[in-house]
């Protein structure tokens, strides 16, 4: 090792990805120990590290760029947890840090968060379950970390009241990614104060913590949303996700619903249980978002007033699918999840099988996920077998599809990946032709009572079979 050049040693160390291996290699010689200390860019810290050891660790790796401190599954009394002083040591020793993640750090509050302002190159900050951090701490970060381009906040209960941090980040306009999840004190209306910040934002996700149930009737597609009060520019937004949001199409305040018609660069859209959205919203969005490539809709039935009478169904109908097919020529990844729907007349799902098939055949859909789609049956499988571009099909809780419908799988011209979850009317018989056809690259089966491990053998080049897989509720994350 003594005869190797420093450049070659650095290249060797770069190719070692496991932390345990790097630690072992660094003990071989003083030269390797020193070079590893200079080159180490990332560390992940869990419980059990004493304050003295943490200080020594920070001193040894002064050139760290990324640090993750994760105490998930632990309690403050179970091992040593980094506190405000520890965060001060970290930011003092490692001034080049540009990516910091803090998870379940219960001993860190605003005083510790203020230390992050020493990291002038900090670009990404993730705070996950940090209950003692408040809006004041975030405001200090906004003031001191001018290079910040990505902010992730999850389950931070102390953030409430003042929105100055959000207003300042918006006025500075440096954020490209903003994700706020399960922070009770941050409402959808607070983001309307983000102002100019919307102009540069590329990724935005907001998940409301509260469970909600719609009991009041909402109006159908004949009513237009009142959007004149919100005029921020979101032309660079490419990735939008809204979860468990309550909107009122006929009310004076529409909250984050205004985004649906203003994101001209949007490529990926996910709406999970957003109440009050209707066909008009999807029509407006499709007309504005010509670059849309991926859409995920998680829907549950609500009461809608249509033509003077009340209907209980999901908000979107075939009109939304037609608008997407007409206006979004790049759309290729589609997920439709339905929760709490039942077979009634009229049906509680606004989409029809004919509308879905026409939609898939009109767009270059490569990935299709159907979850709880009660309207989709064997005839739908036959009709989809002519979809030229479909490569991946996932059927979850689709009990109208039986062995007869599975016979059409071998006729799909491009299908190579198939997932079956909780499809209780598909048996080994339905999969028997797959083994003969040798067409599938991958088959993933789980929670299907009448499909055995023997039944999936040879059905694809790669097979995953689970008996005790994740619950159906996991796939629907029921509100």
All domains in the chain, ordered by first residue: 1-39 (1.20.1280), 377-479 (3.80.10.10)
Strands (E), 157-283: 177-181, 203-207, 218-219, 239-243, 268-272
Quickly tell me which residue has 């408040």 as its tokens. Answer: 134
Q: CB atoms < 10 A from the CB of 146, how many?
A: 12
- Of 347-351, 394-398, 421-425, least confident by mean pLDDT is 347-351
Separation CA 237–CA 222 (nearest Å): 28
Distance CA 453, CA 445 (A): 9
Query: Would the pLDDT of 94 be above 80?
Result: yes
- With a pLDDT cut of 90, the percent of the chain lying above it is 61
377: phi then psi, degrees, rounded to nearest 5: -135, -160
* Strand-pair category, 367-371 with 392-396: parallel
3-state secondary structure of 134: coil
pLDDT at 221 over 50: no
Residue 203 contacts residue 227 (beta carbons within 8 Å): no
CA distance 422 to 105: 38
412-439 average pLDDT score: 94
Least confident of 44-58, 272-286, 321-335, 458-472: 44-58
Q: Which helix (H) or strand (E) holds 444?
A: strand 440-446
CA distance 324 to 363: 9
What confidence tier does 338 reach under pLDDT thresholds 50, 70, 90?
very high
Report residue 227's pLDDT band, with 50, 70 and 90 as the boundaries. Answer: very low
- 68 or 437: whose pLDDT is higher? 68
Among 117-126, 146-155, 273-282, 399-408, which is the least confidently predicted range? 273-282
pLDDT at 257 over 60: yes
Q: Which residue has the higher pLDDT, 167 or 1?
A: 167
State the Cα torsion 286-289-291-292 to the nearest 10°: -60
Better-scored residue on pLDDT, 475 or 224: 475
pLDDT for residue 250 is more than 60: no
Predicted local distance difference test score (pLDDT) of residue 228: 40
**What is the C-alpha separation between 7 and 14, in angstroms, rounded?**
11
- 3-state class of 232 per DSSP? coil
Per-residue tokens: 189: 């209306």
Residues 446-467, mean pLDDT to the nearest whole number: 94
Q: How far apart are CA 322 and CA 358, in angstroms?
A: 8
pTM: 0.87
Confidence of residue 217 (pLDDT cuts 50, 70, 90): low
Distance CA 182, CA 206 (A): 8
Whether the predicted pLDDT of 222 surpasses 50: no
What is the model's pLDDT at position 44?
Answer: 86
The SS3 of residue 53 is: helix
- Sign, CA torsion 280/273/362/236: positive
CB 305 within 8 A of CB 217: yes
Q: Which one, of 418, 350, 351, 358, lies nearest residue 384 by Cα?
A: 358
Give the number of other CB atoms < 10 A from CB of residue 230.
16
Query: How far apart (Å, rounded) are the C-alpha atoms in residues 407 and 385?
Result: 10
Give the single-character DSSP code of 459.
S
Sign of the CA dihedral running 164, 95, 75, 473: positive
Whether pLDDT at 75 is above 70: no
The conformation of residue 313, written as its DSSP 8-state character, comes to E
Q: Are 325 and 288 in contact (CB under 8 A)?
A: no
* pLDDT of res. 304: 81
- How many CA atoms lie less than 13 Å away from 104 in the CB half-sphere? 14
The answer to whether 431 and 437 are in contact (CB under 8 A) is no
pLDDT of 255 over the 70 cut: yes
- Confidence band for 307, pLDDT divided at 50, 70 and 90: confident
Assign 247 to helix, strand or coil: coil
In this structure, of 5-9, 274-278, 401-405, 424-428, the range with the lowest mean pLDDT score is 5-9
What are the pLDDT digits (tens) for 163-185?
A: 999 999 999 878 999 999 999 89
For the chain, the average pLDDT equals: 87
Question: Predicted confidence band at 11 (pLDDT cuts at 50, 70, 90)?
Answer: low
Above 90 in pLDDT, residue 2?
Answer: no
Residue 273's nearest CA partner among 249, 304, 241, 250 is 241
Lowest mean pLDDT among 15-19, 41-45, 148-152, 265-269: 15-19
pLDDT given at position 252: 53
Per the structure block, which two tokens stand in for 374? 């009660």
Compute the average pLDDT of residues 278-283.
92
Please say whether the beta carbons of 406 and 418 come within 8 A.
Answer: no
Q: Is 300 in contact with 274 (CB distance < 8 Å)?
A: no
Residues of the chain with pLDDT > 70, as a percent, come to 85
Q: Which range, 136-145, 217-226, 305-314, 468-477, is most confident? A: 136-145
């Amino acid at each position: 090792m003594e005869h190797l050049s420093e450049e070659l040693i650095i290249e060797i160390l770069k190719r070692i990805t496991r932390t345990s291996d790097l630690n072992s290699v660094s003990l071989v010689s003083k030269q390797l120990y020193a070079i590893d200390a200079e080159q180490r860019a990332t560390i992940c810290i869990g419980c059990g590290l004493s304050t003295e050891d943490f200080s020594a660790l920070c001193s040894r790796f002064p050139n760290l760029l990324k640090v993750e401190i994760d105490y998930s599954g632990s309690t403050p009394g179970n091992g040593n947890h980094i506190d405000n002083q520890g965060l001060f040591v970290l930011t003092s020793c490692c001034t080049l840090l540009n990516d910091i993640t803090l998870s379940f750090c219960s001993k860190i509050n605003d005083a510790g968060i203020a230390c992050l302002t020493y990291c002038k190159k900090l670009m990404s900050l993730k705070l996950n379950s940090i209950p003692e951090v408040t809006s004041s701490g975030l405001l200090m970060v906004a003031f001191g970390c001018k290079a910040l381009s990505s902010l992730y906040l999850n389950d931070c209960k102390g953030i409430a009241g003042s929105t100055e941090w959000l207003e300042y980040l918006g006025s500075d306009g440096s954020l490209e990614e903003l994700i706020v999840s399960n922070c009770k004190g941050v409402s959808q209306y607070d983001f309307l104060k983000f102002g100019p910040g919307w102009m540069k934002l590329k990724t935005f996700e907001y998940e409301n913590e509260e469970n909600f149930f719609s009991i009041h009737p909402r109006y159908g597609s004949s009513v237009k949303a009142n959007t004149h009060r919100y005029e921020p520019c979101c032309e660079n937004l490419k990735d939008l996700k809204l979860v468990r949001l309550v909107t009122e199409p006929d009310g004076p305040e529409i909250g984050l619903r205004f985004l649906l018609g203003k994101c001209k660069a949007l490529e990926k859209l996910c709406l999970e249980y957003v109440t009050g959205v209707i066909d008009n919203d999807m029509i407006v969005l499709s007309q504005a978002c010509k670059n849309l490539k991926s859409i995920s809709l998680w829907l549950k039935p609500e009461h809608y007033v249509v033509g003077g009478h009340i209907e209980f169904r999901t908000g979107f109908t075939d009109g939304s699918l037609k608008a997407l097919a007409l206006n979004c020529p790049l759309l290729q990844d589609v997920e439709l999840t339905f929760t709490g729907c039942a077979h009634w007349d009229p049906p509680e799902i606004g989409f029809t099988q004919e509308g879905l098939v026409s939609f898939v055949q009109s767009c270059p859909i490569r990935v299709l996920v159907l979850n709880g789609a009660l309207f989709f049956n064997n005839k739908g499988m036959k009709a989809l077998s002519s979809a030229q571009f479909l490569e991946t099909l996932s059927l979850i809780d689709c009990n109208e599809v039986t062995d007869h419908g599975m016979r059409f799988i071998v006729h799909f011209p491009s299908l190579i990946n198939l997932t079956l979850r909780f499809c209780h009317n598909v048996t080994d018989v339905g999969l028997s032709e797959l083994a003969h056809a040798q067409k599938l690259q991958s088959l993933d089966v789980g929670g299907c009572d009448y499909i055995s491990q023997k039944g999936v053998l040879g059905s694809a080049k790669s097979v995953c079979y689970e008996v005790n897989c994740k619950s159906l509720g996991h796939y629907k994350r029921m509100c």
